[in-house]
Chains A and B, each alone.
Chain A
Amino acid sequence: GAVVSQHPSRVICKSGTSVKIECRSLDFQATTMFWYRQFPKQSLMLMATSNEGSKATYEQGVEKDKFLINHASLTLSTLTVTSAHPEDSSFYICSARFQGYGELFFGEGSRLTVL
């Protein structure tokens, strides 16, 4: 299947700092990428839909100023958690859509720990 790379896989930061997570589609162009958050033993919660060249669409209850999403190219989307707090600690996962209505492939996830 198609490959989606996510970096970093783990990050620990101090409260109040900002953290950027990258999501890359390695062998295909992805006009649409998605960002999810997953709490322990729970399913994925969609945070936002990222479209190349336009503003992201955020799900209800997700603070757009807190979670900045940029999709500057067809192979890269970034999620920046601004002014991180301990409650932002979570597992963040991106996915990329392969061709039109096609399959969604997921990255390996990034575990954020805010001290």
Chain B
Amino acid sequence: QKEVEQDPGPLSVPEGAIVSLNCTYSNSAFQYFMWYRQYSRKGPELLMYTYSSGNKEDGRFTAQVDKSSKYISLFIRDSQPSDSATYLCAAKFGNEKLTFGTGTRLTIIP
């Protein structure tokens, strides 16, 4: 079992819809949770960085962490074609290395 599981998709939604991306993890020691967006042939771009459980909002993006169920979510409101990319969840504890999910390929249909 991978430490971070993520549905690879692909996921297609119409423009303007709310997108929900999810990951589960198995290592209860994870404290820091991140979401990255990666466009084709580019490096990952950090979208959200959260510590422990709770919600964090930044513009159209909301990250949720539920440590009791080991569940990580990213919501995108008013989705745009420019949001089409691969979204990677990641987790770590302390100063350790990041553990990535496999990434979900998202397409927003105009």
Chain A residues with CB under 8 Å of chain B are: 1, 4, 6, 32, 34, 41-44, 46, 49, 91, 93, 95, 100-101, 103-109, 111
Contacts and interface: CB of A to CB of B under 8 A. Distances in A.
B43 A43 contact: no
Contacts of B103: 42-43
Identify whether the interface residues of B are mostly helix, strand, loop, or mixed: loop
B60 interface: no
Interface residues of B, number: 20
11 contacts: A42-B102, A44-B100, A101-B32, A101-B95, A106-B43, A106-B44, A106-B45, A106-B46, A107-B43, A108-B43, A109-B43
B41 A103 contact: no
Given A103-B46, A108-B42, A43 B94 contact: no
Nearest to B47: A1
Top 3 closest pairs, chain A to chain B, by CB: A106-B43, A109-B43, A106-B44
Contacts of A6: 43
Given A43-B103, A44-B88, A93 B97 contact: no
Contacts of B34: 103-104
Contacts of A42: 102-103
Nearest to A102: B49
Given A43-B100, A106-B36, A93 B44 contact: yes
Contact of A44 (B44, B45, B94, B95): B44
